[in-house]
């Protein structure tokens, strides 16, 4: 009886801890991409696209495909932000590149002021719009890996609308 009580109590404590940690979590998304081209080419194309979509007057007609800002770039690391022209929410973006026989890229997006884990797919679209705009989705060996658990909205996002 005592062992059973300890197991139930442990499960309840673990469940409460997980619920609290999920409640404190900010909205975020993680995606992995693979490319059959060099990481320097991938980095150049991403940085070029971020610069091309910086804040400008045409944001009214570009939807969410504008208002990017390059924060920093270093070999194998890109940091940027995307500010939604409609909601003014800011997504912090990071691309970590790893060169081996292929180029592996890990993209992370985190909403600054949103605790809504779904965040209407904006984190996913902030990353994916850059891949689309830079034509990296057509690059040799392109593959994308994520799921709705590490990137809420991944399975239902419509980034062409945003």
CA separation, residue 33 to residues 13, 37, 42, 43 (Å): 37, 12, 11, 13
**Residue of 71, 72, 76, 69 whose CA lies nearest to 40:** 76
Domain of 48? 28-156
Q: What is the chain's pLDDT, residue by residue, as a tens digit (162 residues)?
A: 565 544 344 443 444 333 333 444 568 899 999 999 999 999 999 999 999 998 666 576 677 788 899 999 999 999 999 988 777 888 999 999 999 999 999 999 998 766 555 566 888 999 999 999 999 999 999 999 999 889 888 888 888 654
The tally of domains found in the chain comes to 1
Residue 90 placed within a domain: yes
In a domain, 18, yes or no: no
44 found inside a domain: yes
| CATH number of 134's domain | 3.30.310.80
Neighbours of 55 (CB within 10 A): 12
Q: Is residue 8 part of a domain?
A: no
Residue 84 lies in a domain: yes
105, containing H or E segment: strand 103-111
Give the pTM.
0.79
74 is a domain residue: yes
């Amino acid at each position: 009886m005592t062992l059973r009580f300890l197991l139930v109590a442990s499960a309840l404590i673990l469940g409460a801890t997980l619920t609290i940690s999920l409640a404190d979590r900010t909205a975020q998304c993680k995606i992995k991409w693979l490319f059959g081209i060099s990481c320097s080419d991938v980095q150049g194309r991403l940085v070029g696209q971020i610069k091309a979509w910086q804040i400008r007057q045409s944001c009214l007609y570009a939807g969410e495909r504008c208002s990017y800002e390059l924060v920093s770039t270093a070999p194998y690391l890109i940091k940027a932000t995307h500010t939604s022209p409609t909601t003014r929410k800011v997504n912090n973006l990071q691309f970590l590149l790893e060169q081996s026989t292929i180029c592996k890229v890990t993209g992370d997006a985190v909403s600054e002021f949103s605790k809504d884990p779904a965040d209407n797919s904006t984190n996913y679209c902030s990353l994916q719009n850059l891949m689309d705009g830079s034509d990296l989705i057509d690059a040799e060996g392109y593959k994308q890996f994520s799921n709705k658990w590490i990137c809420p909205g991944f399975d239902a996002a419509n980034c062409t609308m945003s």
